[in-house]
Chains A and B, each alone.
Chain A
Amino acid sequence: MALTDAIVEMEDISIEFPGVKALQHVDFRLFPGEIHTLMGENGAGKSTLIKALTGVYKIDGGSIAVAGEPRMFTGTADAQSAGISTVYQEVNLCDNLTVGENVMLGHEIRGAFGINWRKTNEAAREALVGLGLGHLDPKQPLSSISLALQQLVAISRAMVAKSKVLILDEPTSSLDANEVEGLFGVMRRLRDQGVAILFVSHFLDQVYAISDRMTVLRNGEFVGEYLTADLDRTQLISKMIGKDFGTLAALGSNRGRVAAPDATPFYSATDLGRKGSIDPVDIEVHAGEVVGLAGLLGSGRTELGRLIYGADRPDTGEVRIGGVSAEVHSPIAGLSKKIAFSTENRRDEGIIGDLTVRENLILAVQAERGWARPLSRREQKELCDKYLVELNVRPADPERPIKNLSGGNQQKVLLGRWLATNPELIVLDEPTRGIDIGAKAEIQEAIAALAESGMSVVFISSELEEVVRLSERIVVLKDHRKIGELVNGPDVTAETIVDLIATEGSAA
């Protein structure tokens, strides 16, 4: 396959949004039969480059050629008809359709009397089996399966379209190890069939495990194109962030810092639970303490976080805040008790896309004050000035619609939204999911600093190393119940947690 012609060739691509140069003179080539990773920090321009290719964004300069022909697509659908399928960072499927309908959308098999649903569902099943998802029933509603499985359904859908180019933007961010391995198997099979795969991921291990080549972007500029084998991790990271790896390695660990045991915890709950969501749990969080919630996807870690905030209404349990009995049955109740919750589902439950960064940032503070007492222009400006700088939001333009920001920067704005309410306890659900290593480090540092300043933190992450690095105590969950609690120390590692989950599993 050596010396094949590129199937996608983008040269000298520039895109400018009002006030921002999103891409400047970027080159990118994709060959049939390769897995090519696009690397860069959040806001480096990875998503923008993909959108330039698929025609979602109009390019202001440069040229795009597909299979040697100059092309200019008008959008995802147009690109797809030319054999370029995209699976975006956030799952983009129809919740109210079935799995099969989603897989086959636009490729339904037609008979004499319109769509032949039996054949369509069979085809969907075949596509799913090809991904190792034979256990999924094409007829079940999409909304009934987990986010991770929905991601795989999105990939199945792209494969049904018989694409020559498959763009996977953060496909693994919500998958567990087994699912990732299954996906990689399929990706390799597709590569061997000659499909060109463009892959975006923040998991360095995965990048090195799967990709053949990589293109690195930084701040919208082209840094270089490398064979994966030629570039080790340290070099890659320093190319991505433009500085030495040493600063990253120095990221402080909080482990072992334990709050005074006799103090009244800021938050304590006994038998906190909700039917069908999580079995009754006891949990306490002291001031200045980081409590990690560890567990696999679907273990109930998110559900517990939501109960603490009041996003869902608990139906059992007693909550005490600062030693005083309290009812936290709604988000606004949580806010008024100085609890904040940053969701893992940034797009659906986090950002208000059409509103500006400023409006998104002040929203929770405003909701807590009520509609009748609006924040003044000056107060709004102060909040924006403070958090956009503190959290290093790029671009730091408060009047830009938040949907135009990259995922990591949206996450920072959301973090700012909650910090602006001056919470005593903040529940962070996957705050680092789907964002690059640079922003991840910034957010981890921010969390450590928050705890240092006396705030209580409940930290939820699927990356066990991250949980171990940041937490004083770790609540381990499995199958919607709490199976143990670890006080962090030198002998606690990610392995310890994995072992606990594994042994508890066999006992239960």
Chain B
Amino acid sequence: MSTASTTPARSRDRSLLGTIIHQPYIWAVVALVLLLVINLVKDPGYLGVAVNPTTGNLSGNLIDLLRASAPVMMIAVGMTLVIATRGIDLSVGSVMAVSGAVSMEFMSNAGDGSVGTALAAAGLALAISAGLGAINGVLVSIVGLQPFITTLITMLAGRGLAKVITAGQNTSATNEPFRWIANGTVLGFPVVFVIAGVIVAIVAVFIRRSALGLMIESIGINPKAARMAGIRPIGILISVYVVSGILAGVAGIFSVASVMTVEVSKTGLAAEMDAILAVVIGGTSLAGGKFSLTGSVIGALLIATLDKTIVFLSIPSEATPAFKAAVIVVICLLQSQRVRALFARRRAKAAPTDPGAGSPRPTAPRKESVPA
């Protein structure tokens, strides 16, 4: 940072703070900090984390927040990749319900509370989620349906499927290892958040260390040119939707494990909206192309924090949608090109450049008459 004033303007500021300030999701970070500060003002002990004497677990608002953000984080990461390819996945909420229904139904029938049952239930749920994602991917890439329509269909069909699986009932099950996924802690951190973090890291490394990220962005920015450059869009599109499906499945497991019940008409309801918002807040354009996984993770954290803050501040439930919308609109406004340009202009006015400097310009004959 300190070198910024002495080095030429073109050299980039490489410090961490400098990097973050230039990210599109900077306002999401600001909003996140602001929300935490507001909570702190209401209760100075807000950020405190202590060991609960009865349960022996770490507990605190931060822990709750991390826990609540995990499912949104999962679907937001999947959604980011899909949106980057110019698509959209509206089915994530329904896939969450299917995944939850499959795992609960499986465990409630299996009866025993063993780790094996939990793993089998999770595996089966993820396999079916991946299948639903693959259906989306095939319909979009091979059949050529529009992503919006395709995933709208799977969204409706998915919730129907969840209802069929549990015969329309909210199914509960007892399985301590499965419950631990959503309620336990490892080294003080909630298990869900640790799992979510590991999955995000795996996806990020997988995408950015391989050439997948480059190819996804190419397809999103200019699908024709990407194909002409030899990129095979079908495989990439299918994988992206499958990944989104699997991540939605994980989110569904997180969601139902928390209460060990699947509520077929409520689990994952409107989750796609949270995911899309997280992606947009994170600075990825809905038009596809360049994407930021970090941004989406921050977006997911922000949405979870927002939900929690609304309760913590005792904002009346009638006002919560308006409050949430207002915060998100402000962030999106601050991120928009125009508003940013406005800020840039303000700054430019504050520090005017010297137009007189530079080399003498070449003189040239000037003709004052104009040919008719």
- What residues of chain A have their CB less than 8 Å away from a CB belonging to chain B? 1-4, 12, 14, 18-19, 24-25, 27, 31, 33-34, 60-62, 212-213, 221-227, 311, 330-332, 334-335, 341, 343, 348-355, 359, 363-364, 366-375, 417
Contact = CB atoms under 8 A, between A and B. Distances in A.
A371 B215 contact: yes
B243 to A, nearest CB: 13
A372 B236 CA distance: 12
A224 B363 CA distance: 7
A351 B222 contact: yes
B221 A34 contact: no
A331 B233 CA distance: 11
Contact of A225 (B224, B225, B361, B365): B365
11 contacts: A1-B372, A34-B371, A221-B362, A225-B364, A225-B367, A227-B367, A341-B228, A352-B218, A353-B222, A373-B210, A375-B211
Given A3-B369, A61-B353, A371-B210, A348 B222 contact: yes
B221 A353 contact: yes
B372 to A, nearest CB: 4
B214 to A, nearest CB: 6
Contacts of B231: 332, 363, 367
Nearest to B359: A24
Nearest to B356: A61
A258 to B, nearest CB: 31
B292 to A, nearest CB: 13
Interface in B124-146: none
Interface string B208-228: 011110110110011011111
Given A343-B228, A354-B217, A1 B370 contact: yes
A387 to B, nearest CB: 15
Contact of B371 (A12, A212, A224): A212
A334 B231 CA distance: 12
Contacts of A1: 370, 372
B316 interface: no
Given A221-B362, A366-B211, A355 B218 contact: yes
Contacts of B218: 352, 355, 359, 363
B269 to A, nearest CB: 35
B289 interface: yes
B367 A213 contact: yes
Nearest to B216: A371
Contact of A417 (B215, B229, B372): B229
Main secondary structure of the interface of A (DSSP, over half): mixed
A169 to B, nearest CB: 21
Contacts of B290: 354
Given A12-B361, A34-B371, A62-B355, A368 B222 contact: no
B226 A352 contact: yes
With most chain A CB atoms within 10 A of its CB, the pick from B221, B227, B230, B355 is B230
Interface string B344-372: 00000000010100110110111111111
A1 B358 CA distance: 37
B214 A24 contact: no
B364 A224 contact: yes
A367 B229 contact: yes
A33 B370 contact: yes
Contacts of B366: 225
Interface in B31-61: none
B319 interface: no
Given A24-B359, A374-B209, A331 B364 contact: no
Contacts of A341: 228
Given A222-B361, A367-B229, A355 B217 contact: yes
A374 B222 contact: no
A249 B212 CA distance: 47
Contact of A349 (B9, B228, B367): B228
Contacts of A334: 230
A355 B232 CA distance: 18
A315 to B, nearest CB: 19
Contact of A331 (B230, B358, B370): B230
A241 to B, nearest CB: 15
A349 B225 contact: yes
Interface in B243-266: none
Contacts of A350: 225, 228
Nearest to B232: A332
B212 A224 contact: no
Contacts of B217: 352, 354-355
The 5 closest A-B CB pairs, nearest first, are A224-B364, A61-B355, A367-B230, A25-B361, A19-B10
Contacts of A60: 353, 355
Given A14-B355, A332-B232, A354-B289, A227 B371 contact: yes
A416 to B, nearest CB: 12
Contacts of B371: 34, 212-213, 227
A374 B205 CA distance: 12
A369 B230 CA distance: 10
A224 B209 contact: no
Contacts of B369: 2-3
A370 B230 CA distance: 9
A331 B227 contact: yes
B22 to A, nearest CB: 12
Nearest to A20: B10
A348 B224 contact: yes
A184 to B, nearest CB: 16
A348 B225 contact: yes
B198 to A, nearest CB: 21
Given A3-B368, A371-B236, A351 B210 contact: no
Interface string B267-307: 00000000000000000000001100000000000000000
Contacts of A349: 222, 224-225, 228
Nearest to B227: A331
B212 to A, nearest CB: 5
Contacts of B367: 213, 225-227
A187 to B, nearest CB: 14
Given A348-B225, A353-B222, 5 more contacts: A2-B372, A212-B371, A223-B362, A226-B365, A331-B227
B370 A364 contact: no
